[in-house]
């Protein structure tokens, strides 16, 4: 949360970006069945970004120990 990857991320296929980081985290820890595993798929990346934006308030609460 400190690096603000969710706020910085935009739906881009460029590597080395906050979007790639979120994609990798989602693929590794959330999307166990690989439903959104295609990095080249605009809709897959957008789904992942939308999900992280929805989760952000809860992640902040977890980080703050609430």
Q: With contact defined as beta carbons under 8 Å apart, do 39 and 33 qualify?
A: no
Taking residue 47's Cβ as centre, other Cβ atoms within 10 Å add up to 16
Specify the residue for token string 């080395």. Answer: 16
Write down the pTM of the prediction. Answer: 0.89
Tally the C-alpha atoms within 13 A of residue 2's C-alpha that lie toward its C-beta: 2
Chain centroid offset of residue 31 CA = 11
C-alpha 29/C-alpha 14 separation (Å) is 21
Domain layout of the chain by residue ranges: 5-63
pLDDT digits (tens, 9 = 90+) for 21-61: 999 999 999 998 999 999 999 999 999 999 999 999 999 99
DSSP at 11: S
């Amino acid at each position: 949360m400190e690096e603000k990857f969710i706020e910085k991320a935009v739906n881009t296929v460029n590597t080395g970006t906050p979007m790639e980081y979120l994609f990798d985290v989602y693929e590794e820890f959330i999307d166990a069945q690989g439903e959104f595993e295609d990095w080249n798929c605009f809709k897959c990346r957008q789904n992942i970004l939308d999900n992280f934006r929805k989760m952000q308030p809860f992640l902040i609460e977890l980080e703050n120990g609430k």
